[in-house]
Amino acid sequence: MPSFLPERFPTSRPEEDVVAVNESAIKENPSKTPEGVFELPREMQVEWEPNTEEEKVAAEIVQVIRNVGGEAYFTGGYGRDFLMSQDAEHYPDFRFKPHDIDIATNFAYEQVQDVLKEAGYGIFKETGKNFKVLKVYVEIEGRKIGFDVASFRTDGSYGTNRKPTEVNHTVDIREDVARRDFTCGGLYFDPLEKKVIDYVGGIEDIKNRVLKTIGDPYERLVVEDPLRMLRYIRFLTKFNMKFDRTIKGVIQENAHVLNEIPAERLKQEEGELDRILMLPRAAFGLATMARVGILKEVLPEISDLLEVRHTPEGKKASIHKEGNVFRHELETMRAISRPEFLSVIREKFQLSEEFSNDEVVARFYQRYGSEWAWAALLHDVGKGMAQESVEEHDEVVRYRFHGHEADSVQLAEQIFDRFRFPKKAQEEIRFLVGNHTKAHNIAGARGESLRKNTRNELFRSPYAEELIFLSLADDMGNFASERSIQEKLENFNQAWRMLKEFRQEEKARQEALAKQPDIGKQVMDLFIPDRTRKKQGFSGVEPMRNTVRLLLEDGRITPDEIGATLRQIKDVLDAKGIDYRGTDAFQLKTQIQEALQEYYKF
């Protein structure tokens, strides 16, 4: 027994028990080897020791199953990730941090449960709709960690929902590997013998950085489930691998089949689009999707930007020297992986150099979610609608895009509906896209052009941090010579400081306001002191409350001066001859707003 396994787990069982457990599992292997699978595996001996408690427990589970004559291995990409972590030449930024370790065995579900129960495991849960998978829970450092233990299985034909109509148990590992999609993920890792078992050529493909399917690419990527085409792009992007030439042709010829999949599957159920957009190399993934024809099928609004130029052909660009709007969107997405942007994230999130660049990006999206990535992608999607030609001497000399923010929000709404975005996600993306231009004017040389009240409205949003980060990414994606990267970073840092100061001041204001009488009640008492009904409404409350809030934010009054300010407001409105009781509610509200804006110069 390996030295890292505890003695509490039995190393053997009585012979009659072994026979009983394996009676139904011992069958002759099928005579026909599945397509794309070797008859005999290629094995690679590796230097390996479990570095985490999860690895130790998973190895214990494998040992328990082996003790009674079963097969058991780590699956779920463990072998792939381990090999990539050992190949610094081809995967220099890859860090191996195993979690959610899956185990595959030739034992049937009931057998696995019986064996593990006898070995002392006691917390189980069934998962999987078409095929039972045993989730084994083990307490590690005070947390219950789940390990999926699945029987070798085969998939039947695929139904209209792109899922197997039936899933059957098999004892042949070759049949189990045949149902997996890519060769790099079809590796089995033996933690006891310390070797990688390869039935599909995955070891060589990882070495050559080529992403291949197991079996016929058309069957795997088109017939069985076209969503795998997006999954292929994600793996290609995540691991910086190369196209298999045959697969590239299959995708180019069949990208249109993605239209047969309900759009919400792309975004919600499997989340392939979100996963691609949140990768450090998302820009590469989007460019790849455009090259093979996937982008125009799933996101035509973005694909159309390939034809939208920032500068007329033949004219010298003064801004957006990166090219068309699509290229700008890619450069905005690429900003998150640039060293300067990563340094900002490290500083603001207080992340040490021990975190890899990929881990820094992951932390960013853990805090801000895929909504930020969608906002970065969609922030200029409306430029095609907003584009106007500026002519001089009957010649188009430049383009302008006034109001493109609103047009971008309009197109984003179409995408929200198509992919069924959650309401909260819609709200956030709508705010970020609609205000990304204003955010450029928060700080720096253009800071004075944004009214303080407008800036404070942006800062009051729960998405203010995301907006400032989006502004930086947008700036970095704009290749304009007149603004250096250092100036863009200084503007970001100034805006960040202003936001933090605003939040501190806002907290102090709220604490002071909490000690004051309710503004609405003060307004009612002052303007309608003789109201007969306790709950009688007054449409002037809202504009007066807003006026007081703006005066507080501008520092023109303190919370202690609210009462005096309301009396001043009453004098202003009385001088205007406004009838508080006889005027229509909407008209009264409008009159009060206009009078106070004029008086206080908002």
Residue 201 has pLDDT above 50, yes or no: yes
Q: Where is pLDDT greater, at 526 or 293? A: 293
pLDDT bucket at 347, cuts 50 / 70 / 90: very high
For residue 56, the one-letter residue type is K
pTM of the model: 0.84
pLDDT bucket at 15, cuts 50 / 70 / 90: very low
**The predicted structure's pLDDT at residue 100:** 85
Burial class of 27 by CB neighbour count within 10 A (0 to 12, 13 to 18, 19+): exposed
What percent of the chain clears pLDDT 90, i.e. is strictly above it?
Answer: 59
Q: Residue 436: name the closest of 374, 480, 384, 389 by CA.
A: 374
Question: CB-hemisphere CA count at 13 Å for 294?
Answer: 27
Mean model confidence pLDDT for the chain: 87
15-215 to CATH, choices 2.102.10.10, 3.30.460.10, 3.10.580.10, 3.10.20.30: 3.30.460.10
**The predicted structure's pLDDT at residue 265:** 87
Domain with CATH 3.30.460.10 in the chain: 15-215
3-state secondary structure of 92: coil
167 touches 156 (CB < 8 A) = yes
3-state secondary structure of 373: helix
* Token pair 């109001």: residue: 403
Residue 5 has pLDDT above 60, yes or no: no
3-state secondary structure of 597: helix
* Residues pairing with 139 in the sheet: 144
468 touches 439 (CB < 8 A) = yes
Residue 172 has pLDDT above 90, yes or no: yes
For residue 330, the one-letter residue type is L
Non-local CB neighbours of 307 within 8 Å, separated by 6+ positions: 324, 384
Question: Looking at 3-12, 224-233, 251-260, which range is the least confident one?
Answer: 3-12
Q: In what order do the strands lie in the sheet with 143-151?
A: 42-45, 195-198, 187-190, 72-75, 102-105, 143-151, 133-140, 123-127
**The predicted structure's pLDDT at residue 269:** 62
Give the Cα separation of 419 and 434 in Å (integer).
Answer: 20
For residue 388, the one-letter residue type is E
pLDDT bucket at 1, cuts 50 / 70 / 90: very low
Q: What is the mean pLDDT of residues 354-359?
A: 93
* Token pair 């998973």: residue: 58
Query: What Å distances lie between residue 188 and 3, 62, 111, 168, 371, CA to CA?
Result: 22, 12, 21, 20, 36
For residue 339, the one-letter residue type is P
Domain with CATH 1.10.3210 in the chain: 299-510
Give the Cα separation of 43 and 188 in Å (integer).
Answer: 10
3-state secondary structure of 405: helix
What percent of the chain clears pLDDT 70, i.e. is strictly above it?
Answer: 89
Q: What is the mean pLDDT of residues 136-160?
A: 86
In this structure, what token pair is assigned to residue 300? 């035509």
478-483 contacts: CB < 8 A, separation 24 or more?
478/319, 478/320, 478/322, 478/328, 478/331, 479/320, 479/321, 479/322, 479/331, 480/318, 480/319, 480/320, 480/321, 481/321
Q: What is the mean pLDDT of residues 74-78?
A: 94
Residue 151 has pLDDT above 90, yes or no: yes
Q: Where is pLDDT greater, at 539 or 408? A: 408
Residue 240 has pLDDT above 70, yes or no: yes
Q: What is the mean pLDDT of residues 168-186?
A: 95
DSSP for 509-561, written as a single string: HHHHHHTSPPHHHHHHHHH-TT-SSTT---TTHHHHHHHHHHHHHTTSS-GGG
Give the Cα separation of 209 and 196 in Å (integer).
Answer: 17
Q: What is the mean pLDDT of residues 92-109?
A: 90
520-523 contacts: CB < 8 A, separation 24 or more?
520/545, 522/562, 522/563, 522/566, 523/566
Give the Cα separation of 63 and 77 in Å (integer).
Answer: 20
Give the Cα separation of 195 and 48 in Å (integer).
Answer: 8
515-520 contacts: CB < 8 A, separation 24 or more?
515/559, 516/559, 516/560, 516/562, 517/563, 519/544, 519/545, 519/548, 519/562, 519/566, 520/545
pLDDT in tens, 370-427: 999 999 999 999 999 988 888 777 787 777 888 999 999 999 999 999 999 999 999 9
In this structure, what token pair is assigned to residue 224? 């069985």
Give the Cα separation of 411 and 575 in Å (integer).
Answer: 47
**The predicted structure's pLDDT at residue 22:** 36
**The predicted structure's pLDDT at residue 7:** 42
**The predicted structure's pLDDT at residue 10:** 41
**The predicted structure's pLDDT at residue 31:** 46
Fill in the DSSP letter of residue 182. B
**The predicted structure's pLDDT at residue 30:** 46
36 touches 67 (CB < 8 A) = no
Residue 481 has pLDDT above 60, yes or no: no
299-510 to CATH, choices 1.10.3210, 1.25.40, 2.60.40, 1.10.3470: 1.10.3210
**133 phi/psi in degrees, rounded to 5:** -120, 130
Highest mean pLDDT among 92-106, 340-354, 581-595: 340-354
